[in-house]
């Protein structure tokens, strides 16, 4: 919930911008840290979710590792103080330049996504007289029951190595002296809130680790990826994701051998709730059947609604008192104050719509609008389409 003081601070500022509540971020990180350390689990922050420098600094200060998917993310992780022994590097298309950078940085582990990639990492490591530590990203064919655009763990996906290709992996590992096999890695999708899905993942991980051990491989690291979802509908009432249940599932169902490390790569769950995109109403267009609120932010600032039909709660901060009146159960409901708006951006694309039919109090030019739960895959996915200014960011004081 944004305080009155924060909202009046916004009045002075040029919009649009991302507002980061670093207190919310710290509370979320503390909850994750407490729940994971109960079991001695290692958490790597998936930097792709948000690499805003202030956010990275706070996350690093909690001792999390970093999960990177590009050479530049590896560089940024090191610059922000993430220990190289806590950096993992995933990605289906690592370039030679990126692999060399990570080899030079002596990162903890490459999560390799194909047999061909194993051979290339081996060659590049050999040229440097180094040994690259490797985890094999395996596609466990577990249905994540999430939006099909952000599910990754099913067969015939571009990510990871399919189970039927594992004999080839074994051959490659035997023929690659510059690779050190550390373990197995999985990531089945994002915004997963059903704990059954993780239980199914554990069952599959157990089977796959037995398969490797039967062939004489010691598994030091089990990395089950990320994907824990957040509550986009109720960011205030349910702001901290259910880390307790999440880690408990792995503790209960994963067959962890003595001395083995269990790793996670959480992105969204750590950062989604700490930020809102703050925008202003530029124009109100009243039609015969529809009303439009045209904002000064659009798909160039937050593309999730347009790309994945993702829901984000939209609030009119300037009319928040009328919002209180509308609240069901407040005893003061007044249906005459509810207006349905299509909340749209200024970009020359009809898909540039945050949400249709949003119930809001009567809104006016200049009103401040908050689009909530925008800390994950928000600012980092912003673009310069239409030669727009790069969206700015401000922080809680």
Structure tokens belonging to residue 54: 């202030």
Q: Enumerate the β-bridge partners of residue 355.
A: 343
Q: Tell me if 191 sits within 8 A of 268, measured CB to CB.
A: yes
Of 93, 85, 45, residue with least CA distance to 68: 45
Rule CB under 6 A: is residue 183 a binding residue for ligand LLP? no
Q: By rule CB under 6 A, what count of residues binds ligand LLP?
A: 21
Q: How far is the CB of 88 from ligand LLP (least distance, A)?
A: 9
Contacts of 184 (CB under 8 A, 6+ apart): 135, 136, 137, 138, 205, 208, 209, 212, 219, 221, 222, 223
Structure tokens belonging to residue 252: 């209960």
Which 33-72 residues touch ligand LLP, going by CB under 6 A? 46, 49, 67
Structure tokens belonging to residue 20: 């980061």
Rule CB under 6 A: is residue 225 a binding residue for ligand LLP? yes
Which 318-377 residues touch ligand LLP, going by CB under 6 A? 376-377
Whether residue 38 has a cis bond before it, omega within 30° of 0: no
Contacts of 229 (CB under 8 A, 6+ apart): 146, 190, 191, 192, 193, 241, 268, 269
Of 80 and 268, CB closest to ligand LLP: 268
Q: How far is the CB of 8 from ligand LLP (least distance, A)?
A: 31
**Distance between CA atoms of 273 and 266, rounded to whole angstroms?**
14
User: Which range, of 76-84, 208-216, 267-275, 351-359, touches ligand LLP by CB under 6 A?
Assistant: 267-275
Which 145-174 residues touch ligand LLP, going by CB under 6 A? 150
User: Which range, of 198-206, 224-232, 246-254, 386-394, touches ligand LLP by CB under 6 A?
Assistant: 224-232
Residues 85-114: x where in contact with ligand LLP by CB under 6 A, - otherwise, as a string: -----x------------------------
User: Which range, of 263-271, 282-290, 360-368, 387-395, touches ligand LLP by CB under 6 A?
Assistant: 263-271
Rule CB under 6 A: is residue 190 a binding residue for ligand LLP? yes
Residues in the chain, total: 397
- Which parts of this chain interact with ligand LLP (CB under 6 A)? 46, 49, 67, 90, 150, 187, 190-191, 225-228, 265-269, 304, 308, 376-377
């Amino acid at each position: 919930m944004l305080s009155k003081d924060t909202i009046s601070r916004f009045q002075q500022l040029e919009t649009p911008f991302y507002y980061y509540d670093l207190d919310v971020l710290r509370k979320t990180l503390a909850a994750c840290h407490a729940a994971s350390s109960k079991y001695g689990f290692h958490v790597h922050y998936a930097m792709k979710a948000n690499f805003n420098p202030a956010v990275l600094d706070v996350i690093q200060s909690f001792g999390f590792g970093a999960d990177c998917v590009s050479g530049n993310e590896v560089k940024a992780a090191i610059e922000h103080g993430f220990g190289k022994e806590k950096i993992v590097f995933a990605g289906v298309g690592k370039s030679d330049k990126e692999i060399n950078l990570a080899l030079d940085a002596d990162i903890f582990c490459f999560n390799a996504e194909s047999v061909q990639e194993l051979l290339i990492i081996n060659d590049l490591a050999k040229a440097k007289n180094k040994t690259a530590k490797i985890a094999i990203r395996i596609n466990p064919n577990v249905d994540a029951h999430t939006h099909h655009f952000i599910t990754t763990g099913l067969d015939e996906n571009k990510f990871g190595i399919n189970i039927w290709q594992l004999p080839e992996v074994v051959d490659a590992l035997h023929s690659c002296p510059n690779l050190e096999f550390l373990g197995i890695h999985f990531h089945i999708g994002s915004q997963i809130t059903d704990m059954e899905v993780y239980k199914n993942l554990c069952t599959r991980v157990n089977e796959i680790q037995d398969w490797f051990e039967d062939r004489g491989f010691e598994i030091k690291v089990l990395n089950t990826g990320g994907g824990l979802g957040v509550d986009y509908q109720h960011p205030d009432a349910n702001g901290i994701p259910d880390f307790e249940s999440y880690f408990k599932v792995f503790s209960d169902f994963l067959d962890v051998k003595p001395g083995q490390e269990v790793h996670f790569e959480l992105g969204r769950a750590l950062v989604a709730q700490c930020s809102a995109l703050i925008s202003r109403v530029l124009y109100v267009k009243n039609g015969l059947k529809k009303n439009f609120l045209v904002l000064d932010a659009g798909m160039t600032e937050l593309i999730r609604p347009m790309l994945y039909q993702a829901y984000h709660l939209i609030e009119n901060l300037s009319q928040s008192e009328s919002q209180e009146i509308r609240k069901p159960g407040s005893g003061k409901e007044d249906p005459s104050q509810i207006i349905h708006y299509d909340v749209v951006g200024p970009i020359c694309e009809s898909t540039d719509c945050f949400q249709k039919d949003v119930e809001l109090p009567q809104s006016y030019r200049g009103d401040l609008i908050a689009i909530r739960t925008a800390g994950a895959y928000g600012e980092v996915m912003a673009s310069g389409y239409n030669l727009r200014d790069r969206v700015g960011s401000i922080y809680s004081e």
